[in-house]
Structure 1
């Protein structure tokens, strides 16, 4: 048994491998999830934006994003919900980077790899090999 502080409220609790919050905060999160989930189940709310969901449910955006990241809210059914790209903050629905940032990252990686290859080729060209002819050796 290990005692740790709840990441939400700071209260001590016995750590378990399932969650990083105490029982009270877990219950509050579950109530918030139920509220958001029930809201999104209604057909008229399926196209709601994140701002609208937060306004109508009172659940903080950070908590809704936690549900999304954990896969508890599947964005495939909700086209206007998303979470921010970790690089630029643009709303996305999967992964960690938006398409633009991912493309830029790939391009920068390609440039870096080409430069590494060029440096390797230059280093190989500058290698000098010396051969010793035994007849000239004194």
Structure 2
């Protein structure tokens, strides 16, 4: 099913599909910019450039560079200093959604929650029901 949306860049109306997130005019601009960035990175002395350095040199938005790296259009094996921010802490990563240290922290947090739930369950099971009876003396 197709969706009619406003372009996030220029605001014009376009039909969204799975390949494009912007209108045709903005897509063409992005492609032209991509070609410039790729030409810049193919030069030996520029292969180790950071996203900020590329943005300053070419005048492209850093978010657009992150988008291309995330989609795999700019290969991080060829351009080692490229990456995109971790969704949790913001450090540059080259794959996934979160960095290794955040994965470790999340695992620790989940383990802690799991242990707390097990302790609570064990405490509830160890409680015994107490019944009181009252005897009346005659």
Question: Residues 14-53 of structure 1 correspond to what in structure 2 (within 5 A)?
Answer: 14-53=15-54
Question: Residues 63-74 of structure 1 correspond to what in structure 2 (within 5 A)?
Answer: 63-74=64-75
Return closer, same or farther for 1:111/1:75 CA change in 2, 3 Å cut-off. Answer: same
Map of 1:59 onto structure 2: 60
Question: What's the offset of the Cα at 1:110?
Answer: 0.8
Are positions 1:84 and 2:92 aligned together? Answer: no
Deviations 1:83-133 (A, max 9, x none): 2221221222222222222211111111111111111222222254x9xxx
Map of 1:3 onto structure 2: 4
Q: TM-score, normalised by structure 2?
A: 0.83
Counterparts of 1:85 and 1:96, CA distance in 2: 6
| Structure 1: 5+ residue stretches without partners | 131-138
Counterparts of 1:2 and 1:110, CA distance in 2: 42
In the alignment of these two chains, the number of paired residues is: 130
| Structure 2: 5+ residue stretches without partners | 132-138
Counterparts of 2:62 and 2:96, CA distance in 1: 18
Alpha-carbon contact 2:89-2:102 (below 8 Å) kept: yes
Q: TM-score, normalised by structure 1?
A: 0.83
Counterparts of 1:27 and 1:74, CA distance in 2: 21
Map of 2:126 onto structure 1: 125
Map of 2:13 onto structure 1: 12
Map of 1:104 onto structure 2: 105
Alpha-carbon contact 2:69-2:82 (below 8 Å) kept: no
